[in-house]
Amino acid sequence: MARKKTKSVSFDAMVKFFMQTYGIPTRKDVDRVIARLDRLETLVKSGSVSRGRKPAAAKAKVGSPVKSKSAGVTASDAVLSVIKRSKNGVGFADIQKKTGFPEKKLRNIIFRLNKLEKIKRKDRGIYLAV
């Protein structure tokens, strides 16, 4: 009867596998963190880091309009006005062309307007004002 050969795994390989699986930091990881902390301490002591930073602004709630910096018209209002001008619906590419907004921003605005029931999806990528 022939025995099936199995490949033995070294103890070091098993330890490395479990450390990676469970996110246990290695000595090298700890040394890197300590080095970064040392660099940060020297930056703070030298005064390179500005101390008068303003706190970050609170995130806007879903559905709240995002103000455009120039005209005082919100980005959502700009997209909604482009959609309202069309009687048969307007495509995503046309909205992007007319507003000049990046794709991610436009997708978020369309999602929000749809959630607020100000627009509806006629077809894939075609939107109508309600």
- Locate tokens 């991610």: which residue? 104
Structure tokens at 14: 């098993």
Residue 64 lies in a domain: no
* Greatest distance between any 2 Cα atoms in the chain: 85
In order, the DSSP letters of 27-50 are: HHHHHHHHHHHHHHHHHHHHT-S-
Query: What integer pLDDT is reported at residue 116 of this predicted model?
Result: 92
Structure tokens at 88: 């048969």
Residue 3 lies in a domain: no
Burial class (CB in 10 A: 0-12, 13-18, 19+), 45: exposed
Q: How confident is the model at residue 68 (pLDDT cuts 50, 70, 90)?
A: very low
Query: Which residue would you say has higher pLDDT here, 3 or 128?
Result: 128
Taking residues 61-87, what's their average pLDDT?
74
Residue 32 lies in a domain: yes
> By C-alpha distance, which of 103, 104, 108 is closest to 66?
108
The beta-carbon contacts of 56-64 under 8 Å, at least 24 apart in sequence, are 62/112, 62/115, 63/112, 63/115, 63/116
pTM score, two decimals?
Answer: 0.45
Residue 21 lies in a domain: yes
Residue 42 lies in a domain: yes
Residue-range definition of the domain harbouring residue 40: 11-46
Residue 5 lies in a domain: no
| pLDDT beyond 80 at 120 | yes
CATH of the domain at 118: 1.10.10.10
| Structural domains counted in the chain | 2
